[in-house]
Amino acid sequence: MTDKRDVQQGTLALMILRTLDLTGGLHGYGVARQIEATSGNRLALNYGTLYPALVKLEQEGFVKSAWGQSENNRRAKYYTLTAAGRKRLARETREWHETVDLIGAFLAPKGEAP
């Protein structure tokens, strides 16, 4: 069994946006479970950072929320992407791919291009 890792600084918003993009919308607990599942349960998700991140994304206009009923008939706030959120997701995805390519050039074995 592998140790769970903390979410790296600056990556949680991207994970939330991508999760909402793939699922079409979830409540906060569902977002957390989906992020953990997508990571193969390798991430340790701190709920004390997840909910403030959702609130911040909503305040910035990247997600919107509405109250609804959860699977177990409890009242829950559901989050979905906005058009601005889709644009931010596309931009951040592109930037992360560029970063991975750049770091890959430094980590490639000597004399090999990535």
Please enumerate in sequence order all residues whose Cβ is within 8 A of that of 70, keeping only pairs 6 or more positions apart, or say none. Answer: 27, 29, 76
pLDDT at 114: 56
Rounded to two decimals, the pTM is 0.86
Report pLDDT digits (tens) over 3-48: 776 677 678 999 999 999 999 999 999 999 999 999 999 987 878 8
Q: Which of 77, 17, 18, 11 is nearest to 46 (CA)?
A: 11
Find out whether 37 and 30 touch, Cβ atoms under 8 Å: no
Do 16 and 60 form a contact (C-beta atoms < 8 A)? no
Domains parsed from the chain with CATH numbers: 5-107 (1.10.10.10)
- Between CA 82 and CA 58 the distance in angstroms is 9
pLDDT value for 108? 85
pLDDT 10s digits, 54-72: 999 999 999 999 999 988 9
Can you say whether the dihedral through the CA atoms of 34, 38, 40, 43 is positive or negative?
A: negative
Task: Decide: 75 and 87 in contact? Cβ < 8 Å.
Answer: no
The rounded Cα 114 to chain-centroid distance in angstroms is: 27
